[in-house]
């Protein structure tokens, strides 16, 4: 422990940065937190990320460092909640060479965008891209299945002279259901639901999904061969694993029936399988085979993650600096139960707000909790080192940023989501650390603009939350037990702490923000 704690003392390389003087900002901590969150969301808007990723020069285009020649040979498909805006921008940039396009998007998304004044994310009237809506409530349905079949047909007709641009975002898996016959959509959905209820991991769920689908697990790229396939991906998965985002339709990786049977046996579902799934899994070998050309020629498929939680945090950090904070990104992959996550943020706040060198017990508990919630020990050591440097040199206000997707154990029947509940729990952790502008502020918000079934994306909290609630007759513990965070924040001070950004048109998981005010230096 002594070796680890030595990292928190001033280090020579940090001294090279020099003493940073923040710009003067008279805005409240609450207002600045909201502006930093808005910058994170703006950074991953579907049209913005596509525009930044496609470099057009005459009749050639460069994407992710790969150059392609355009000869009226471009085709486009897409599936996901943010794909409509991605497609609209792609057509603006490459439309003169676009032959045909087809995208599968959520039910009602076109009308919703129109009603919210987001017309720039809609296709033009003369667009060559066909829009098909489906997957109501983010569940695969017959409309989405029909779109998947048409996407497969489009891909299958391409030649070696064609380019297929594939646009993928969160929700893409539900919008591209293509069960292998004779499996029905309902049968496939029932199996994956039972696996999820039994506690299967996302990797296990995707192992089963890929084996029961024609298009997942590289299937779309397979059917598009020998055309060149370029996928632009807006990631909503921790770590941006290409094979998990929308179940990897452009990521080659065949799943064999034996693997699936092993997963189903692990969760005691083998005996209850419908005969159609048993038939498909009983077939020898993979359900489609790569040609020799496919397996040896990597130039046929290029996958590029163009938007992610890391991108959002980076741009949030820039805005935080403009608003007078020294930004520090802790980690982009926070996960695990909100109880543990809130405890970690509470400890970080105590460490950062300490006027003297914090007790070693705080660092020890953080290092114990970190791996449990997806934060590496190295990232915690780095963060504490920077905070320690700031304390001794008087850097002023700090903005700690993190992202990810924690989970909530449901014990009640209330309304809310992980972000609002996390904000409540962190508020309790901050109880004795003072109120703004002299105490820390915490924000947790979903970049998709919603937190659970509510219109709020999250909430903002500080050390005054507990007393404020008590003064208004609201008992935090009761609301937490009932998972009723939205009712709590809506009732508290007329909902002023709620984060309600409206329709954001994107999704790269959540943004967590801990604003630390300037801490007076204690000189011994």
Q: DSSP assignment of 6-61, as one string? A: GGGS--HHHHTT----PPP--S-HHHHHHHHHHHHHHHT-HHHHHHHHEEEETTEE
Helix, strand or coil for residue 63?
strand
pLDDT at residue 24 in the model: 55
Nearest in space to 85 (alpha carbons), one of 510, 509, 507: 507
Tally of structural domains, the chain: 2
Q: Give yes or no: residues 410 and 330 share one domain.
A: yes
Chain centroid to CA 79: 16
Q: What is the pTM of this model?
A: 0.90
CATH number for the domain that contains residue 468: 3.40.1480.10
CATH number for the domain that contains residue 240: 3.40.50.10180
Query: 10 lies in a domain?
Result: no
Q: Give yes or no: residues 237 and 383 share one domain.
A: no
| pLDDT tens for the 524 residues of the chain, in order | 444 444 444 444 333 334 445 555 678 999 999 999 999 999 999 999 999 999 999 999 999 999 999 999 999 999 999 999 999 999 999 999 999 999 999 999 999 999 999 999 999 999 999 999 999 988 899 999 999 999 999 999 999 999 999 999 999 999 999 999 999 999 999 998 899 888 888 778 888 988 899 999 999 999 999 999 999 999 999 999 998 899 999 998 767 788 889 999 999 999 999 999 999 988 876 666 666 565 554 568 999 999 999 999 999 999 999 999 999 999 999 999 999 999 999 999 999 998 888 999 999 999 999 999 999 999 999 999 999 888 777 678 999 999 999 999 888 999 999 999 999 999 999 999 999 999 999 999 999 999 988 999 999 999 999 999 999 999 999 999 999 999 999 999 999 999 999 999 999 999 999 999 987 765 55
Q: Give yes or no: residues 196 and 338 share one domain.
A: no
Query: 153 lies in a domain?
Result: yes
pLDDT at residue 362 in the model: 97
Q: Give yes or no: residues 241 and 326 share one domain.
A: no
Query: 408 lies in a domain?
Result: yes
Q: Give yes or no: residues 279 and 396 share one domain.
A: no
Q: Give yes or no: residues 328 and 265 share one domain.
A: no
> Domain limits at 178?
45-284+298-307
Q: Give yes or no: residues 254 and 358 share one domain.
A: no
Burial class from Cβ neighbours inside 10 Å (0-12, 13-18, 19+) for residue 443 reads buried
Q: Give yes or no: residues 345 and 278 share one domain.
A: no
Q: How far is CA 197 from CA 96, 188, 192, 521, in A?
A: 48, 14, 9, 51
Answer whether 339's CB lies under 8 Å from 60's CB: no
Query: 13 lies in a domain?
Result: no
Query: 506 lies in a domain?
Result: yes
Distance CA 172, CA 156 (A): 20
pLDDT at residue 257 in the model: 83
Report phi then psi at 407, rounded to 5. -125, 155
| DSSP conformation class of 516 | E
Q: Give yes or no: residues 381 and 487 share one domain.
A: yes
Q: Give yes or no: residues 430 and 470 share one domain.
A: yes
pLDDT at residue 122 in the model: 97
Length of the chain: 524
Q: Give yes or no: residues 245 and 339 share one domain.
A: no
Distance CA 458, CA 449 (A): 8
Query: 35 lies in a domain?
Result: no
* Sequence-separated (6 or more) residues with CB below 8 Å from residue 397: 22, 324, 325, 326, 515, 516, 517, 518
pLDDT at residue 292 in the model: 57
Query: 120 lies in a domain?
Result: yes
| DSSP conformation class of 124 | P
Report phi then psi at 306, rounded to 5. -105, -10
pLDDT at residue 5 in the model: 44
Query: 474 lies in a domain?
Result: yes
Q: Give yes or no: residues 114 and 220 share one domain.
A: yes
């Amino acid at each position: 422990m002594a070796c680890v704690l030595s990292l928190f003392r001033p280090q020579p390389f940090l001294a090279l940065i020099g003493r940073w003087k923040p710009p003067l900002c008279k805005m409240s901590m609450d207002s600045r937190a909201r502006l930093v969150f808005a910058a994170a969301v703006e950074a991953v808007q579907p049209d913005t990320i596509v525009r930044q990723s496609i470099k057009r020069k005459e009749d050639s285009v460069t994407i992710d460092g790969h150059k392609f020649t355009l000869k009226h040979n471009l085709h486009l498909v897409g599936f996901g909640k943010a794909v409509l805006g991605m497609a609209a921008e792609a057509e603006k940039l490459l439309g003169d060479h676009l032959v045909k396009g087809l995208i599968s998007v959520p039910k009602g998304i076109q009308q919703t965008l129109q009603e919210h004044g987001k017309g720039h994310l809609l296709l033009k009237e003369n667009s060559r891209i066909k829009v098909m809506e489906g997957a109501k409530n983010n569940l695969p349905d017959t409309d989405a299945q029909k779109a998947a079949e048409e996407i497969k047909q489009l891909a299958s007709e391409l030649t070696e002279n064609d380019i297929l641009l594939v646009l993928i975002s969160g929700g893409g898996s539900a919008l591209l259901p293509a069960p292998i016959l004779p499996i029905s959509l309902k049968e496939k959905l029932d199996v994956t639901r039972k696996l999820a209820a039994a506690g299967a991991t996302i990797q296990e769920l995707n192992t089963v999904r890929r084996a029961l689908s024609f298009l997942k697990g590289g299937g779309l790229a397979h059917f598009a061969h020998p055309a060149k396939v370029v996928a632009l991906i807006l990631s909503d998965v921790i770590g941006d694993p290409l094979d998990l985002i929308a179940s990897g339709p452009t990521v080659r990786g065949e799943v064999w029936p034996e693997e699936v049977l092993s997963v189903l046996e692990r969760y005691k579902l083998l005996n209850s399988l419908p005969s159609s799934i048993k038939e498909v899994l009983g077939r020898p070998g993979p359900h489609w085979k790569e040609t020799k050309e496919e397996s040896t020629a990597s130039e046929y498929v290029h996958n590029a993650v163009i938007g992610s939680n890391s991108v959002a945090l980076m741009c949030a950090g820039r805005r935080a600096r403009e608003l007078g904070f020294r930004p520090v990104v802790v980690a982009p992959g926070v996960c695990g139960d909100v109880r543990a996550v809130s405890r970690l943020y509470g400890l970080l706040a105590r460490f950062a707000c300490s006027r003297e060198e914090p007790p070693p017990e705080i660092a020890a508990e953080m290092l114990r909790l970190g791996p449990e919630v997806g934060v590496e020990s190295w990232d915690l050591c780095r963060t504490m080192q920077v905070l320690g440097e700031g304390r001794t040199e008087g850097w002023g206000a700090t903005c700690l940023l993190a992202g990810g997707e924690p989970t909530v154990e449901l014990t009640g029947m209330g309304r809310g989501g992980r972000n609002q509940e996390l904000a409540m729990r962190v508020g309790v952790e901050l109880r004795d650390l003072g109120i703004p502008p002299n105490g820390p502020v915490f924000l947790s918000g979903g970049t998709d603009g919603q937190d659970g079934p509510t219109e709020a994306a999250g909430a903002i909290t500080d050390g005054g939350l507990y007393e404020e609630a008590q003064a208004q007759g609201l008992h935090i513990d009761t609301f937490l037990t009932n998972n009723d965070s939205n009712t709590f924040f809506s009732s508290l001070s007329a909902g002023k702490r709620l984060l309600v950004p409206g329709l954001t048109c994107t999704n790269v998981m959540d943004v967590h923000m801990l604003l630390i005010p300037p801490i007076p230096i204690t000189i011994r």
